[in-house]
């Protein structure tokens, strides 16, 4: 039995009895505190005299000295000053910039403990928000699916380009929530080719006096470098996002990139995307091909996908395959079912399911994603998948009421805010035998499961999947089945 069960039960008992607070602290107070919990952003949580402290970079189990930065009546945000006794789960981060960058909130925590923390988060949210008992969840929850190699898993890198104090072009990441770039071409979550490619781009810019874009002045040319890698095909795409219409010395530039030796990897596509707006959006609205086809191909399982600079594609292909396989296992299709894939993106899940189903209907709000989905169906010779553009909460009721399209299985993979209630309502009315819920936010998942389980469905299986090692994000797949009354 998981330790979470007892923990969750005792939390439920304590819920209505807040701890007595003895003190209120003030800005700049120094406190010694044991980190007892992990917050939603990966921050450490500790208590002194019933007063709650949120301490970024504190690891559960650490005893730390912290300085109060922002004090409220019953809680405060504090800065980690010194680790007095390190937690047994604290490790040396692989990346020297882990703390300033903030992209990897959990890099100082052992991977085993990261998985524990994620599984526990799903567990607690289902109990606290979903209203399930700890015993119920314990009975249906399978162990979290982690990665064997929890680094170098991202197939997409987007590096902002800036200028350092000496006037040299740099690639790196934005420090914290600022817009100043800290130079680092070697993010440990990405593939090793990123560094080679970025350095070649920076050298080329320096040699040819091509300026980086300056956000405040809105001047300069190169804004971002996007690199996408097909993990199964070993194809690489490089796309420069520029503040202008063209890139100088295109031929020399593409030759330079193509002359790089990148081991098994091969650059198959070089593009530029023009973005002249003063915006936080990285990519421009279109792109121009300098070399190759304008897309790379990758496979998830036995389904092939064409990925252009602008298409959405899951960033961790290894775990995506696990995630989809799990959804497919939970759906347990026999071959003649009608399946709906709501929030289908470029149809990745739909096409995975189509091979095992009678008919698949995908619904997605972004028209270009549906274009990709139809194109991807074609490339794979899949003719039993049909796609609709629109909001799931509008398309589903319409197709059900006006055209009486039914469902044996409904798969949903909504964004963080979860499903709209109108969507859940229609799902229940359609009475599918099974619902497979793929979620990137356990809190909204728990809320939606509460609705579905209050309306004729039963939670059969839950499994967390670690799509984003080193970060606080966690994906979950759930199977629900219709209660036979």
Catalytic residues: 440
Nearer to ligand SAH, 369 or 385 (CB): 369
- Cβ proximity to ligand SAH: between 225 and 438 the closer is 438
Q: Which is nearer to ligand SAH, 268 or 341 (CB)?
A: 341
For 359, the 3-state DSSP assignment is: strand
Name the minimum Å distance from CB 104 to ligand SAH.
22
CB of 98 to ligand SAH, least distance (A): 27
298 strand-pairing partners = 305
Please check whether residue 122 is in contact with residue 94, taking contact to mean a CB–CB distance below 8 angstroms: no
Closest separation between CB of residue 443 and ligand SAH, Å? 16
Work out how close the CB of 56 gets to ligand SAH at its nearest, in angstroms, rounded to a whole number.
Answer: 28
In the complex, least distance from residue 440 CB atom to ligand SAH, rounded to whole angstroms: 7
User: CA gyration radius for the chain?
Assistant: 25
Q: How far apart are CA 107 and CA 99, in angstroms?
A: 9
Beta bridge partner(s), residue 44: 38, 55
Distance separating alpha carbons of residues 229 and 193, to the nearest angstrom: 9
Give whichever of 290 and 411 is closer to ligand SAH, judged by the CB atom: 411
Min separation Cβ 151 and ligand SAH, Å? 22
The token duo for 8 is: 């969750």
Give the nearest residue (CB) to ligand SAH.
345
- Give the footprint of ligand SAH on this chain (CB under 6 A): 312, 314, 343-345, 348-349, 363-366, 369, 391-393, 413-415
* Helix (H) / strand (E) containing 409: strand 409-412
Q: Which one, 43 or 413, has the nearer CB to ligand SAH?
A: 413
**396, 435 Cβ separation under 8 angstroms:** no
For 443-469, the DSSP string reads HHHHHHHHHHHTTTEEEEEEEEE-SST
| Contact assessment for residue 226 and residue 269, using Cβ atoms and an 8 Å cutoff | no
Phi-psi region of 61 (alpha: psi -120 to 50; beta: other; left: phi over 0): left
- Cβ neighbours for 96, distance < 8 A, ≥ 6 positions apart: none
Residue 244 half-sphere exposure toward CB, CA atoms < 13 A: 14
Q: Between residues 66 and 392, which has the closer beta carbon with respect to ligand SAH? A: 392
8 Å CB contact between 405 and 432? no
């Amino acid at each position: 039995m998981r330790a979470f069960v007892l923990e969750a039960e005792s939390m439920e008992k304590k819920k209505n009895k807040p701890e007595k607070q003895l003190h209120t602290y003030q800005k700049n107070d120094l406190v010694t505190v044991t980190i007892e919990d992990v917050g939603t952003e990966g921050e450490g949580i500790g208590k002194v005299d019933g007063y709650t402290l949120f301490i970024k970079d504190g690891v559960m189990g650490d005893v730390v000295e912290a300085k109060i930065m922002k004090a409220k009546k019953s809680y405060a945000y504090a800065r980690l000053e010194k680790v007095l006794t390190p937690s047994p789960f604290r490790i040396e981060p692989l990346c020297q910039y882990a703390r300033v960058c903030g992209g990897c909130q959990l890099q100082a925590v052992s991977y085993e403990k990261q998985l524990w923390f994620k599984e526990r988060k799903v567990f607690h949210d289902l109990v606290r928000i979903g209203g399930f008992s700890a015993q119920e969840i314990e009975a249906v929850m399978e162990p979290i699916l982690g990665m064997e190699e929890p680094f170098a898993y991202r197939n997409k890198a987007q590096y902002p380009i800036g200028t350092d104090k000496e006037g040299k072009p740099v690639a790196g990441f934005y420090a914290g929530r600022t817009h100043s770039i800290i130079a680092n071409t070697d993010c440990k979550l990405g593939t090793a080719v990123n560094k080679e490619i970025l350095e070649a781009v920076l050298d080329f810019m320096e040699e040819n006096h091509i300026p980086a874009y300056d956000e405040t002045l809105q001047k300069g040319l190169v804004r971002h470098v996007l690199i996408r890698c097909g993990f199964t095909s070993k194809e690489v795409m490089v796309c420069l996002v520029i503040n202008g219409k063209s890139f100088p010395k295109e031929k020399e530039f593409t030759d330079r990139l193509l002359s790089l030796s990148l081991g098994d990897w091969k650059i198959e596509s070089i593009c530029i995307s023009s973005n002249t707006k003063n915006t936080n959006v990285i990519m421009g609205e279109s792109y121009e091909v300098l070399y190759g086809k304008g897309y790379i191909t990758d496979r998830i399982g036995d389904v092939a996908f064409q990925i252009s600079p602008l298409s959405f594609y899951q960033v961790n292909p290894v775990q995506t395959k696990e995630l989809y396989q799990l959804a497919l296992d939970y759906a347990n299709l026999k071959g003649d079912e009608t399946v709906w894939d709501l929030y289908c993106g470029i149809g990745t899940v739909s096409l995975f399911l189509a091979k095992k189903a009678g008919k698949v209907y995908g619904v997605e709000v972004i028209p270009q994603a549906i274009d990709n989905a139809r194109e991807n169906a074609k490339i794979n010779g899949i003719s039993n998948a049909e796609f609709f553009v629109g909001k799931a909460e509008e398309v589903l009721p319409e197709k059900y009421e006006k055209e009486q399209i039914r469902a044996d299985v409904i798969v949903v993979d909504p964004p963080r805010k979860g499903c709209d209630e109108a969507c859940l309502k229609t799902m229940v009315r359609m009475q599918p035998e099974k619902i497979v819920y793929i979620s990137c936010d356990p809190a909204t998942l728990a809320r939606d499961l509460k609705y579905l389980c209050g309306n004729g469905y039963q939670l059969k299986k839950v499994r967390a999947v670690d799509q984003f090692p080193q970060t606080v994000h966690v994906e979950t797949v759930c199977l629900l089945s219709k209660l036979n009354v």
